[in-house]
Structure 1
Amino acid sequence: MTDLIARRIRQDVQSMHAYAIQDSRGLIKLDAMENPHTLPPELRRQLGERLAELALNRYPGDRVNDLRRALAAHAGMPDGFDIMLGNGSDELISLLAMACDVPGASILAPLPGFVMYGMSAQLQGLKFIGVDLTPDFELDERAMLAAIEQHRPSVVYLAYPNNPTANLWDDAVIERIVTAAPGLVVIDEAYQPFAGRSYIDRVAKHPHVLLMRTMSKFGLAGVRIGYMMGPRQLIAEVDKVRPPYNISVLNCEAALFALAHQDEFARQAEDIRRQRQVIQAVLAAMPQVKAWPSDANMILVRVPDAAKAFDGMKSRGVLVKNVSKMHPLLANCLRLTVGTAGENERMLAALQASL
């Protein structure tokens, strides 16, 4: 088997690490930026009845186009734009790398950032250029513009807000980066339900900009629906590399049901924003903790010893994300997902006891 792997599996793949998912059984799960709320019992019953009527023996059909139209209306998609769906944003990121794989192509993104930007480039055989943020996790405008001028990337990713730092970057800096980019710019608004601003009102000004969102943070992480909007001709080209039937009938119908009840999900998002304020106030009173402002459903904190704090919190039944090894700028940092009021209370108590 070792010889088979050595001969038939790409060398760079052999040297990679698979995306790790932490075992959360028996723990309060605050490591993956999931919406902690479930649907009320009556809506769960209605959803179950609706899913039970689906023809699971048939491939997905035109119902997927109903979802595309519903998401376009929900997002306020500009005129002249189109929308494509992915099995989560991860698939869209991979499809973009595939579609943009021309000779000499590269992908550029700030670091620390979402790991899939770099991974998609590597798996497609593209060069990835990571540009460090400032120590306070702002865009380093000079470094970004210099890297764009030097490498002329095919794709620039700007997460708005960023993961794992949870902040929105300066709009004027973003505009200068967008203007300088010679290829595509993808504004990734995965955490838009919790952010104070959106790029949707500016996206139509730039013919090379795509706007990407997901229903995972909306409240459907288990449903796996990502979507990307952009100029119709550009979306049509990227959509050519999308696998057929990539959105299951179950996922499609669950997403349509959620959009029909978006007031409930908006209420949940509002509760998460309120809980975020509560957490930040408590963290501000912890002298050993530095917490950064957040426009997402997560908060980045620096503690004296991230490994000790992570293990201590886990032993107290709370699972968060230790991001301290992801990038030097994240030394001794933990990422805390905002949960329910009760979960957050236990999380903060576990953190305080683990310092």
Structure 2
Amino acid sequence: MASLDDLPLRADLVGRTPYGAPQLDVPVRLNVNENAFPIADVVADDVVAAVREAIAGVHRYPDREFTELREAFAGYLGHGLDASSIWAANGSNEVLQHVLQAFGGPGRTLLSFSPTYSMYPLLAQGVGSAYVAAPRAADHTLDAATVTAAIEEHDPDVVFLCAPNNPTGTAMGLDVVEAACDAARGMVLVDEAYAEFAHDRSQTALSLLGRHERLLVSRTMSKAFAYAGVRVGYLAADPAVIDALRLVRLPYHLSALTQAAALAALRHAPTMLARVDELRAQRDRIVAELGRMGFSPFPSDANFVLFGGVADPHAAFEGMLADGVLVRDVGIPGTLRVTAGTPEETDAFLASVARLAPSPRP
């Protein structure tokens, strides 16, 4: 049997490790920002019925343009969008991959701002793009001047702005997006995977699409819609951008079953999103309680909390794991990240982390 070292692997992949977080069977899994609540029975029944109906036609290829789904996403997003401005794929990572396949590639550069989503450099490498990570402020915020200066310095072909940012949960003002669009000659993508969890959901880059033809805004159904296992991501942009993405997608890339399941969920959007407010409440509870324990939680507009003041993140991770609580060490010194879960999961996390806390604050 051959080993990886025996294969004629691309030189830039030698020594690399695949993306992934621990998948462990523990009582409280709060490490990968999943929605803690399963979908409601009424939604599940509609999804099953829709998939069953779609199965009758799976001997034929699905709608290559997934027109009905694009119309549904446009209706959900609002902002005057229609199907011509919508793209979708198997998770938002594939959406981002399509963007880099179309606008990145060898000899081109992707710029983002670190710490941010760890898939960005991997996606860039996959298409042969150079990746540049400009620094955020110490509190992980990002302002217009910083973005403009980085774009002027590196002259990227593509800019990725994560808002709210993963893994820090940091919000980002629309003035930062405007500054990026004004400074960049290439494409600017705002990754809004966690937008539905924001304190102010009106602050979305979708409102800027009409003014910037090279602006793209990506979303996912994995988080707010509790659809992580279905794998559906989507994007809004100028229709010309959508035409560009058609050039790189694989034929019939969204299966008939995926389209049916996504459409069924969108028909129940208010029900699917009702639990988002509960998760936002748990997130805010985690921030408050961690602060009282003496940790340093960062403000979060996502469904997770990054907190500092952890003397030994590895030991803390293992200690909570021994209690059946799985969190995430994202590699930022002195920090861990925890996903907002059900009230019971929050109870379990807080009880476990309390044993590792610094001196409590009065």
TM-score, normalising length: structure 2: 0.90
SS of the equivalent of 2:207 reads coil
Query: 1:204 Cα shift?
Result: 1.6
Distance 2:173 2:47 in 1: 40
Shift of 1:217: 1.1
| CA shift for structure 1 position 272 | 0.9
Where in structure 2 are the equivalents of 1:31-110 lying within 5 Å? 31-55=31-55, 56-61=58-63, 64-79=66-81, 82-101=85-104, 104-110=107-113
> Does structure 2 conserve the Cα–Cα contact (< 8 Å) formed by 1:306 and 1:332?
yes
1:32 Cα offset (Å): 0.9
Provide the rounded CA distance (Å) in 1 between the counterparts of 2:14 and 2:27: 32
Specify every segment of 5 or more residues in structure 1 that has no aligned partner in the other structure, as ranges. none
The Cα shift of 1:167 comes to: 1.1
Structure-2 separation of matches of 1:283 and 1:133: 23
Q: Deviations over 1:91-116 (max 9, x none)?
A: 11111221124663100000011122
Question: Where does 1:221-236 land on structure 2 (aligned, <5 Å)?
Answer: 221-236=228-243
Aligned equivalent of 1:167, options 162, 165, 170 = 170
CA distance, structure 1, for counterparts of residue 320 and residue 37 of structure 2: 22
Q: Is 1:306 aligned to residue 303 of structure 2?
A: no
- Indicate if the aligned counterparts of 1:77 and 1:229 stay in contact, CA closer than 8 A: no
Equivalent residue, structure 1, for 2:18: 18
1:165-218 CA deviation, whole Å, 9 max, x = no partner?
Answer: 101123323322221011000011100111122111122211110111111112
DSSP 3-state at the match of 2:32: coil
Offset, 1:291: 0.2
Cα distance in 2 for partners of 1:63, 1:138 equals 38
In structure 1, the partner of 2:117 is 114
Contact (CA 8 Å) 2:79, 2:206: kept in 1 or not?
yes
Q: Offset of 1:277 from its aligned partner? A: 1.9
1:129-140 paired onto structure 2 within 5 Å: 129-139=132-142
Partner of 2:360: none
- Could you say which residue in structure 1 is the equivalent of 2:347? 345
- What is the CA distance between 1:141 and its match in structure 2? 4.8
**Residues 263 and 150 of structure 1: is their aligned pair in 2 closer, same or farther, counting only changes over 3 Å?**
same
**Aligned partners of 2:116 and 2:146: how far apart in 1?**
16
Secondary structure in structure 2 of the residue aligned to 1:146: helix
Q: Bigger CA drift: 254-263 or 39-48?
A: 39-48
Find the counterpart in structure 1 of residue 255 from structure 2.
248
CA contact (8 A) 1:298 1:336 kept: yes
In 2, Cα distance between the equivalents of 1:79 and 1:53? 28
Aligned-partner residue type, residue 255 of structure 1 = A
Deviation at 1:336, TM superposition (A): 0.7
Other structure's SS at 2:141 match: coil
- In structure 1, which of residues 211, 227, 243 is the aligned counterpart of residue 217 of structure 2? 211
Question: In the alignment, is the contact (CA less than 8 A) between 1:157 and 1:187 conserved in 2?
Answer: yes
How far does residue 229 in structure 1 lie from its aligned partner after superposition? 1.1
Letter in 2 for 1:41: D
Deviation at 1:251, TM superposition (A): 1.8
- The farther-off stretch of 64-73 and 172-181 is 172-181
Q: 1:82 to 1:140 in 2, by over 3 A?
A: closer
RMSD of Structure 2 on Structure 1 (CA)? 2.0
Q: How many residues were matched structurally?
A: 349
Equivalent residue number for residue 201 of structure 1? 207
Distance 2:232 2:193 in 1: 11
Letter in 1 for 2:303: N
* Aligned counterpart for 2:277 among listed residues 263, 270, 276: 270
Residue 250 of structure 2 aligns to a residue in which SS?
coil
Q: Is the Cα–Cα contact under 8 Å of residues 308 and 354 in structure 1 kept in the other structure?
A: no
Indicate if the aligned counterparts of 2:114 and 2:135 stay in contact, CA closer than 8 A: yes
Stretches of structure 2 lacking an aligned partner (at least 5 in a row): 358-362
Are the structure 2 counterparts of residues 316 and 103 from structure 1 closer, same or farther at C-alpha, using a change threshold of 3 Å? closer
Distance 2:28 2:339 in 1: 10
Change over 3 Å in CA distance of 1:5–1:309 after alignment to 2: closer
**TM-aligned CA distance change 1:183 to 1:91, over 3 Å:** same
Change (3 A) 1:175 1:4: closer
